[in-house]
Amino acid sequence: MLRQYYSVFIILFFLNLKPHSLSSQSKVYYMDGSILIGEISSWNKDSIELILTNSVKISIPRNSIKKVKHKESGKGLSPFRNKGYYVNLNFGIHFNQNVFENSPGTALHFSTGYILDKHWRIGIQSGLEKYNLIAPDHIIPLCMETQYAGINKFPHLYLMIRSGYGFVNFPIKQRTDWSGHGGLIFHPAIGLRYRLSKYTDMHIDFGMLTQKAFYAQRNQWIGTDKTEYHLNYKRLIFRLGINI
């Protein structure tokens, strides 16, 4: 079942890389009164590169341009920012693949970082992971986060990889009986992002989260001093979040 889910999402992702119709348009007014309409792909002090509606890219000298007007064609189809800082908040649900231990878990992720260009963004992430709602512990992750989007239009699919270390934390009243340490986290996912406003978008993603951890429980009434648990969590995780 897991392989089928990933196959469907990967197919959808590559389909999303196909050429799309222009979702934001700019009108370039020449000094002689003529007008060109297209999407500005880049600009500098000497020229502007414009992609016409037939997908032809042309370079226009700045000294031949009188003015440029930009218009977005729809709320849900506008390009997101190509540069700048971002803040991301995610709420997630874990699902265990082990049918004998099917208690769900929860996740709260907070990340911040920098948008490198229209495709890439990189940041750091922390939060809380609860792999089993009835267990006393939770994990505090500290991870690097990288995202890649094949196109610069909304809505669009993106790939995300989160990796780092998860620290085990027990409630104060449990620390006399429990001890342990965390381990490496690896979380690849594929998601869909949709625009809410000029600087805000929401997203949903699906992935596989793995986390290693070690727990030791102190025994008071039996012969052994403690019981040890070496765990390698493997969870399907769905997340809903917002970017600003």
| Token pair recorded at residue 241 | 């979040």
Instruction: With a cut of 70, list the residues of the chain below it in pLDDT.
Output: 1-24, 70-81, 97-103, 133-136, 152-154, 171-179, 198, 219-224, 227-229
- Burial code (b: 16+ CB inside 10 Å, e: under 16) for 45-61 equals eebbebbeeeeeeeebe
CA distances from 203 to 18, 60, 242 (A): 21, 36, 6
pLDDT on residue 175: 60
Note the pLDDT of residue 35: 82
Distance CA 16, CA 66 (A): 36
| Phi, psi for 75 (deg, rounded to 5) | -60, -45
Distance set, CA 27 to CA 44, 48, 73 (Å): 17, 12, 13
- CB-based contacts of 76: which residues, under 8 Å, 6+ apart? 154, 155, 194, 195
Q: What is the DSSP string of 18-32?
A: S----SEEEEEEETT
**The pLDDT of residue 70:** 67
**Residue 148 near residue 119, CB atoms below 8 Å:** yes
- Give the residue ranges of DSSP H helices in the chain: 2-15
- Report the relative pairing of strands 183-197 and 57-61 from DSSP bridges: unpaired
Cis status, amide bond into 155, omega within 30 of 0? yes
pLDDT at 23: 46
pLDDT score of 43: 74
pTM, two decimals, is 0.61
pLDDT of 80: 59
Tell whether the torsion through CA atoms of 167, 179, 214 and 3 is positive or negative. Answer: negative
Q: What is the DSSP letter of 117?
A: S
Please report the pLDDT score of residue 134 as a whole number.
Answer: 62
List domains and CATH numbers for the chain: 2-14+80-243 (2.40.160.20), 24-72 (2.30.30.100)
Distance of CA 208 to the CA centre of its chain: 13
How many other C-beta atoms lie within 10 A of the C-beta of residue 113?
Answer: 18
Q: How far apart are CA 179 and CA 170, in angstroms?
A: 8
